[in-house]
Amino acid sequence: MPAYHLAFKAMGSPCELHLQGPDAPEVQRVAASVIADIQRLERRYSRYRDDSLTSAINRVAAVGGRCEVDAETAALLDYANTCYRESDGLFDITSGVLRHAWRFEPPGVPEPEAITALLDRVGWDKLVWERPCLGFSRPGMEIDFGGIGKEYAADRAAALCWDAGIRSGLINLGGDVRVIGPLPDGSPWRIGIRDPERPETLLGGVLMTGGALATSGDYERFVCIHGRRYGHLLDPRTGWPVQGLVSVSVIAASCVVAGSLSTIAMLKGRDGIAWLRSLDVPHLWIDAEGERGGSGVFAELLKAQD
Amino acid sequence: MAVTDPQHSVTDAAEDCNTPPPVQRVAGTEPRVCGEVPRTHKTLRALSSAALALPGLASSVQATAAMERQWDLGYFNYVEGGARMRVEGLKQGLVLPLGEALELRVNGVRDTISGASPIYNVPVIRCRDGRVFTAPVISVSGASGNPQSGGPPPERPPLNTGECRLSSAQQVLLEDTFQDVRTAGDFKLDYTRGDTILGLGAGVSQERDYDSRFLALDLRRAFNDKLTTLALGYSLAADTFSPLNRPGFSGDKDAHQFLLGLTQVLSRNDLLQINLTLGDDRGYLSDPYKNVYLLATNTAIEESRPDRRRQWNLLARYNHYFAELKAALHLDYRYSWSDWGIEAQTLEAAWIQPLGQGWQLVPRLRYYTQGEADFYRSYFETLPSSGDYSSDYRLAGFGALSGGLKLTRQLSAQARLDLGVEFYDRQSDYGLQGHTESTFADYGFTLYSLSLHLEF
């Protein structure tokens, strides 16, 4: 069975596509449609592009207006609403404005007043979301699908492949991995988990025949000021970077769910450890002291480390 | 054997839930969501169902997490105390997903019933000089057996002189010659579309003297992010009773049942369910194997019940999940009222405790109390003018304590073994509602069950 591998760059991250199917031209055609869909989503939802839908919504948000959104965006907003509700307000797609206070250029901690002023423009509960209308109750707000878009793209890619009859494959969008199905002989894919403390080495590999793996962490983007570590993940309720964990990986049926769970766990800080345990999903956490723990395949992986 | 005690629940679907398989070397999909035991964290459920609403995700998530086919094989053994009834049976069940929207369930059961069962009660007469009589019985109509209490004396002492009086009663049993085999099968087809599930079911059950056919429809719809589920149901059973002791006679009965149910997820770990059912039975509702004793004529004659019964049932169920213990508590309260005058209440608690390593233990405790039917007496002086009379111990006022223990072992990702034992103790004195004493009818049973559950 011909194997098709492709490395490309999308959504600001290195990506890989591995597909296996009986018919090489057909597999290439599917791969092309997958790449096209990922690029479409990037064009639509990237906040770095002025011509994106997200930027258009944010221009409405800037003046506290209202707008109507299409079905796909509505479904993403519904999903964001669920994340906000299930995380008690920690996972909030409006928290992006807080970045203005935490530029770290030059390194320094922002004035509390600056954060308080920004907090007034943060809060999913300050939006009026009545499908298909999205309204902003005050000017100066922003939304950002950063925590959902890439994972959604990975799940869609897997769905496109599946619907095209491909049963063996894997898609990796910058560390968000979705397995379409096992290798043609039924054996699992081996997915390497990078050691956040030694990025050039692997903690080990997990074997997957289906489902998704997502990782949230701020070990790549943080600064140390007066010996304190400040990451890029901000608590939308306080405006300050969350403390406690530096990396969380979760395995779930879909990449969107794995991604939200790992992000919520990070935002919960040390409380995320017990919360992950109660979820009963395979997970791995690493805290700021370098302690690590987890369950399922990750527990075995850590055991093998010792 | 046609009529069974409402208490004899051989299966209890309340914790018919898969325990998560032991962690595999290979991570696949998340464990399947089970509605009864919140084994899957509510957050995980909420996010998963919200993710399925994203365009283009449903097909592949469902496809990779496809429902597995399931097969259940179960053996049960039911024994009443005092060498009364025994029931032994085998059950099989098959769940077949047919594509993404349809699911077919097929069940079959075959059981063998044997043993003695009570027919009527004779009064016991006590005299001041210490003599004790059971009242004489002239003829037993309908019952195809001899009273076990030996030959009755032809005479009984006069009861109006103050010398002798009626003190209690004792049961007369149909001798241990009774044996029957029940064969039953049913199927259910569920069609899922978005947040709505439409179910259609039908089944048949056959015994030597009793045939039953049923048809059932139900509609379940989830609202409010799947936190609220509304259920509507209707079923119709058409039964034919051809008692062995009345050649040439058969009685028909139609039973309609309507259900309205609401399930609400209250929080991450709490779930509340309220079900209201209305049953309307019409036709031949008597049990021709049961007699009443008439003191006026010293005879036992066949019982006679009204030809219609309406019954309301209310079920309130509360489930709480203790995340730190990974255990679930189920509390059930049932209230039922029928226009035969029987009012009943049940309180039941079950604790579902996974023990790790694929073991799970479920202890269960149940208290039941019912008041007697308007036309029930343990025996009758004369026939009541209403024309309805029964001495069936199941229509008496009584209480019952029952409990059980189920041990589950997940043998592999595909196989699970369940071992259960249940006891039941019926006592006239346990009843809460006012009733005439029926201690003579007290009995108990034990039920052992063993079942194997496979997914393939």
> Is residue B156 pLDDT above 90, yes or no?
no
pLDDT band per the 50, 70, 90 thresholds, residue B25:
very low
Give the one of A85, A162, A210 whose C-beta lies nearest to B29's C-beta: A210
Q: For residue B178, name the pLDDT band (cuts at 50, 70, 90).
A: low
CA distance A108 to chain B (A): 37
Tokens of B55: 């365009």
Average pLDDT over every residue of B82-90: 89
Whether A141 shows a pLDDT value over 60: the answer reads: yes
Q: What is the structure's pLDDT at A198?
A: 77
CB contact under 8 A, A188 and B60: no
Which chain B residues touch A263 with a CB distance below 8 Å? none
- DSSP collapsed to 3 states, chain B: CCCCCCCCCCCCHHHCCCCCCCCCCEECCCCCCCCCCCCCCHHHHHHHHHHHCCCCCHHHHHHHCCCCCEEEEEEEEEEECCCCCEEEEEEEEEEEEECCCEEEEEEEEEEEEECCEEEEEEEEEEECCCCEEECCCCCECCCCCCCCCCCCCCCCCCCCCCCEEEEEEEEEEECCCCEEEEEEEEEEEEEEECCEEEEEEEEEEECCCEEEEEEEEEEEEEECCCCEEEEEEEEEEEEEECCCCCCCCCEEEEEEEEEEEEEEEEECCEEEEEEEEEEEEEECCCCCCCEEEECCCCEEEECECCCEEEEEEEEEEEEEEECCCCEEEEEEEEEEEECCCCEEEEEEEEEEEEEECCEEEEEEEEEEEECCCCCECCCECCCCCCCCEECCHHHCCEEEEEEEEEEEEECCCCEEEEEEEEEEEEEHHHCCCCCCCCHHHCEEEEEEEEEEEEEC
Nearest to B29 among A211, A213, A256 (CB): A211
Contacts 24+ apart (CB under 8 A), A99-102: A99/A234, A101/A239, A102/A230, A102/A232, A102/A234, A102/A241
Q: Are residues A163 and A20 in the same domain?
A: yes
User: Hey, which of A181-190, B133-142, B151-160 has the most confident mean pLDDT?
Assistant: A181-190
Cβ <8 Å between A254 and B56: no
User: Are A173 and A279 contained in the same domain?
Assistant: yes
Residue A45 lies in a domain: no
| Mean pLDDT, rounded, for A118-133 | 92
B57 → closest Cβ in A156, A209, A280 = A156
Q: Which amino acid is at A242?
A: V
Of A107, A136, A165, the one marking the end of a domain is A136
The pLDDT value given to residue B143: 47
Q: Looking at per-residue confidence, does B151 or A245 come out higher?
A: A245
Residues 6+ apart with CB under 8 A from B239: B210, B211, B212, B213, B252, B253, B254, B255, B283
Higher pLDDT, residue A83 or A198: A83
The last residue of one of the domains, among A74, A106, A136, is A136
**Mean of pLDDT values over B12-40:** 32
Share of chain A above pLDDT 70, in %: 97
Q: How confident is the model at residue B374 (pLDDT cuts 50, 70, 90)?
A: very high
Distance CA A63, CA A141 (A): 8
Using DSSP's 3-state secondary structure scheme, residue A25 falls into helix
Q: Check CB contact under 8 Å for B44 and A279.
A: yes
Q: What is the pLDDT of residue B64?
A: 37
A23 and A101 co-located in one domain: no
Q: Which residue has the higher pLDDT, A264 or A196?
A: A264
Global pTM value? 0.59
Residues A268, A246 share a domain: yes
> CA-CA-CA-CA torsion for A254, A260, A265, A268, nearest 10 degrees?
-160
Mean pLDDT of A96-107: 81
Rounded CA-CA distance B66/B452 in Å is 22
| CB–CB contact B59 A208 (8 Å) | no
A210 is in an annotated binding site: no
Contact A154, B51 (CB under 8 A): no
B448 confidence band (pLDDT: 50, 70, 90): very high
Amino acid at A214: A
Strands B179-193 and B164-174: unpaired
Dist CA B278 CA B297 (whole Å): 40
Looking at the predicted structure, is the pLDDT value of residue B117 above 90? no
Q: Answer yes or no: is A44 within a domain.
A: no
Query: Looking at the DSSP assignment, which residues form a beta bridge with residue A18?
Result: A5, A170
Strands B117-127 and B132-134: antiparallel
pLDDT at B155 over 70: no
Long-range contact set of residues B346-353: C-beta below 8 Å, sequence gap at least 24: B350/B14, B350/B15, B351/B327, B352/B15, B352/B17, B352/B37, B352/B327, B352/B328, B353/B325, B353/B327
CB-CB neighbors (< 8 A) of B324 in chain A:
278
What is the reported pLDDT for B24?
29
Is the residue at A26 inside a domain? yes
A121 and A160 in a single domain? The answer is no
Residue of B417, B453, B412 whose CA lies nearest to B25: B412
Is B48 within 8 Å of A76 when comparing Cβ atoms?
Answer: no
Q: Compute the nearest-CA separation of A271 from chain B (Å).
A: 13
**Backbone CA torsion sign across A199, A200, A205, A211:** positive
Cα–Cα dist B298/B301, whole Å = 10
Please report residues of A whose CB lies closer than 8 A to that of B32. none
Q: What is the mean pLDDT of residues B17-27?
A: 31
Contact A79 B53 (CB under 8 A): yes
- The answer, yes or no, to whether residue B62 has pLDDT greater than 60, is no
Known binder of ligand: residue A147? Answer: yes
**Counted domains in chain A:** 2
**Which residue pairs, CB below 8 angstroms and at least 24 apart, start in A52-58?**
A54/A143, A54/A144, A54/A145, A57/A134, A57/A143, A58/A142, A58/A143
Confidence (pLDDT) at A264: 96
Q: Which residues of B touch A164 (CB under 8 A)?
A: none
| Residues B212 and B183 sit within 8 Å (Cβ to Cβ) | no
DSSP A84-108: HHHTTT-S-TTGGGGGGT---SSS-
Q: Domain of A97?
A: 53-136
* Distance from the A109 Cα atom to the nearest Cα atom in chain B, whole angstroms: 34
CATH of the domain at A95: 1.10.3980.10
CA distance A4 to B243: 73
Residues of B in contact with A212 (CB under 8 A): none
3-state class of A284 per DSSP? strand
Residues 6+ apart with CB under 8 A from A306: none
A160 shares a domain with A108: no
Query: H or E segment at A17?
Result: strand A13-20
Q: How far is A130 from chain B (nearest CA, A)?
A: 14
End residue of a domain, out of A103, A136, A169: A136
A71, A181, A251: residue with CB nearest B64: A181
Predicted confidence band of residue B140 (pLDDT cuts 50, 70, 90): low
User: Which of A223-232, B66-75, B422-431 has the least mean pLDDT?
Assistant: A223-232
- Binning pLDDT at 50, 70 and 90, where does residue B146 land? very low
Non-local (6+) Cβ contacts of B246 within 8 A are B142, B288
Q: Check residue A126 and report its DSSP letter.
A: G
Pick the range with the lowest mean pLDDT from A170-174, A302-306, B15-19. Answer: B15-19
pLDDT category of residue B326 using cuts at 50, 70 and 90: confident
- Provide mean pLDDT across the span B23-47: 49
Select the highest-mean-pLDDT range: A89-93, A197-201, B22-26, B190-194.
A89-93
pLDDT digits (tens, 9 = 90+) for A63-81: 999 999 998 999 999 999 9
**Number of inter-chain CB pairs under 8 A, A vs B:** 133
Segment B392-397 shows an average pLDDT of: 94
Residue A143 domain flag: no
Residues A178 and A228 in one domain: yes
Would you call B44 and A211 a contact, using CB atoms and an 8 Å cutoff?
A: no
- Rounded to the nearest 10°, the torsion over CA A282, B24, B455, A163 is 60
Confidence band of B58 (pLDDT split at 50, 70, 90): low
pLDDT at residue B219 in the model: 96
Inter-chain contact B61–A85, Cβ cutoff 8 Å? no
Distance (Å) from the alpha carbon of B350 to chain A's nearest alpha carbon: 21
pLDDT tens digits, one per residue of A144-166: 998 899 999 999 999 999 888 88
Q: From chain A, pick out residues whose CB is under 8 angstroms from the CB of B60.
A: 155, 158-159, 161-163, 180
Asked whether residue A118 falls in the same domain as residue A267, the answer is no
Interior angle at CA A83, CA A82 and CA A84, nearest 5: 90
- Do A90 and A161 fall into the same domain? no
CB contact under 8 Å between B26 and A163, yes or no, is: no
pLDDT digits (tens, 9 = 90+) for A233-260: 889 999 998 989 999 999 999 999 999 9
Q: What is the pLDDT of residue B148?
A: 40
Quick one: CA dihedral A298, A299, A301, A306, positive or negative? Answer: positive
pLDDT at B111: 94
Q: Which of B239-242's residues contact partners 24+ apart within 8 Å by CB, and which partners?
A: B239/B210, B239/B211, B239/B212, B239/B213, B239/B283, B240/B210, B240/B211, B240/B212, B241/B2, B241/B209, B241/B210, B241/B284, B241/B288, B242/B209, B242/B210, B242/B211
Which candidate from B42, B44, B56 shows the least CB-CB separation from A281?
A: B44
Mean of per-residue pLDDT scores for chain B = 83
- In tens, the pLDDT along B265-310 reads 887 788 999 999 999 999 999 998 899 999 888 888 999 999 999 9
Structural tokens at position B267? 């929080």
- Selected for mutation to probe chain B from A279, A295, A297 (highest B CB count within 10 Å) is A279
Position A13, amino acid: S
* Pair A26, A153 in one domain: yes
Tell me if A83 is assigned to some domain. yes
Q: Which of A253, A254, A279 sits opposite B41 (nearest CB)?
A: A279
Task: Establish if A142 belongs to a structural domain.
Answer: no
Q: Domain check: are A168 and A281 in the same one?
A: yes
Looking up residue A162, the CATH number of its domain turns out to be 3.10.520.10
**pLDDT, tens only, B227-259:** 899 999 999 999 999 988 888 899 999 999 999
Tell whether A186 is covered by a domain. Answer: yes
| Shortest Cα distance, chain B CAs vs residue A188, angstroms | 7
The residue written with tokens 């007034």 in the block is: A120
Residues in chain A closer than 8 A to B53 (CB atoms): 75, 78-79
Within-domain flag for A295: yes
Interchain pair B26, A156: CB under 8 A? no
The residue of chain B nearest to residue A159, with distances taken between CA atoms, is: B60
Count the Cβ atoms, other than its own, within 10 Å of residue B294: 20
- Name which of A190-204, B288-302, B419-433 the model is least confident about: A190-204
Residues from chain B contacting residue A188 (CB–CB below 8 Å): 26
Token digits of residue B14: 């309340």
Q: A30 and A59 share a domain?
A: no
